[in-house]
Amino acid sequence: MKPLPTLRAAQLATAPPSAHNWLIEGLWSAEAVGIIGGPPKTCKSFLALDLAVAVASGTPCLRHFPVPQRGPVLLFAAEDNVHVVRARLEGIAAAAGVVFDDLDIHIITVPVLRLDRREDRLALAATVALLLPKLLVLDCFVRLHGVDENVVGEVAPILAYLRTLQRSHHTAVALVHHARKGAAHERGGQALRGSSEFHAWGDTNLLLRRMGKQLQLSIEHRAAPSTDWFPVVLKDRPSAVALEVVDQHPAVAQVTQPSCRERIEKALAAAGTPLTQKALRDMVRMRTGDVGQALAALIAEGRVIKSAAGYQPGSSR
């Protein structure tokens, strides 16, 4: 049996001069595979098309994230009529200030593409080899197969095939996928529907969610700092419907939550009678250790008093 090829560590190729190699700066790594995920009606397709227009035109994605690497884009939209896809791309192009007719975006027009079928995988690979896109967008995963998304042994071969496309042709792959119902409060890619293989597979993952009336975006990277939830909005202007970043400094635009101490003081003030630690923990919905530490600090400051009956507000509040 022929041995596998090896290199000494010092013989491995060095990283590019920049700190990180981006397809879309801060948003999508160069030649990265990943997920654009979220519950239904969170504008996942609009985000995927915005990536496509940005890469094809070299203009900032979401009117915010610069594009250092411009090139052709290959797109398959399984759920939308071609007229809808064209109208959305025209609107995003208008918002970006680029000429729609000049966009180097190629749309796969077959009605069905199944990545669990060998002939369809070969056809997609041949198309990628012909066009050599900087970005391949597949929207959405549920329409691209007939396997059980919850079984890693069925999902993994499809994701491995897409990884092979990425490595063989140096193309980034953005796969649109749904999040589980009721998972809006889970961390990023952990909310994705089906096997945990989806989250693990992505070099870059973009996750969308709605909090009340606000649409939020989270960015996860394997090899660069990630960015927690920040607001985006679908702006509806004449001839230009497109997503945009609301805060131009997303790295610091995070949703703030009351601290454990603040929750405890609020709960005690509202109760009017002493509360046990277990009752407090159930009310503030935080870990026992965190509640215990917060109570100790509040007692030391005189803001909370402990008695045989339980905890109550102190005189220094």
First to last CA, the chain: 77
Residue 105 tokens read as: 């975006």
Q: Which residues contact 289 (CB under 8 A, 6 or more apart)?
A: none
Write the CA distances from 45 to 24, 88, 174, 267, integer angstroms: 17, 9, 11, 42
Range list of H helices, 132-194: 152-169
**pLDDT tens, residue order, the chain (317 aa):** 888 888 888 888 776 554 469 999 999 999 999 999 999 889 999 999 999 999 999 999 999 999 998 999 999 999 888 999 999 999 999 999 999 999 999 999 999 999 999 999 999 999 999 999 999 999 989 999 999 888 889 999 999 999 999 999 999 999 999 886 655 555 555 668 677 888 889 999 999 999 888 999 999 999 899 999 999 999 988 888 999 998 645 444 444 567 778 888 888 888 888 888 888 888 887 778 778 888 888 888 888 888 888 888 886 65
pLDDT at site 253: 43
Written as six digits, the tokens of 227 are: 């960015």
- Surface-to-core class of residue 120, CB atoms within 10 Å of its CB (0-12 exposed, 13-18 middle, 19+ buried): middle
Of 219, 174, 159, nearest to 75 by C-alpha is: 174
Write the DSSP symbol of residue 314: -
Cα separation, 313 vs 260, in Å, equals 15
Domain-wise residue ranges, the chain: 18-250, 260-313
**DSSP β-ladder status, 33-38 and 22-24:** unpaired
pTM: 0.72
Dmax (CA) of the chain: 80
Write phi, then psi, for 295 (nearest 5 degrees): -65, -40
Phi, psi of 243 (to 5 degrees): -75, 150
Quick one: tokens of 266? 């609020």
What is the spatial distance between Cα 70 and Cα 56, in angstroms, rounded to a whole number? 6
- Architecture of the domain delimited by 18-250: 3-Layer(aba) Sandwich (3.40)
Give the pLDDT of residue 112.
Answer: 93
Q: Please, which residues have CB within 8 angstroms of residue 219's CB and are 6 or more apart in sequence? A: 26, 27, 204, 205, 206, 226, 227
Residue 104 in tokens: 């180097």
Please state, in angstroms and rounded to a whole number, the distance separating the CA atoms of residues 264 and 305: 12
Q: For tokens 């239904």, what's the residue?
A: 40
Contact status, residue 211 vs residue 70, Cβ threshold 8 Å: no
Burial pattern 82-119, b for ≥16 Cβ within 10 A else e, equals: eeebeebbbbbbbbbebebeebbbbebeeeebbbeeee
- The CATH number of 260-313, from 1.20.120.1690, 1.20.120.1770, 1.10.3210.10, 1.10.10.10, is 1.10.10.10
Residue 4 carries which side chain, given as an amino acid letter? L
Here the tokens at position 164 are: 């092979």
How far is it, in rounded angstroms, from Cα 232 to Cα 67?
A: 19
Q: Residue 277's pLDDT is what?
A: 86
Residue 182's pLDDT is 57
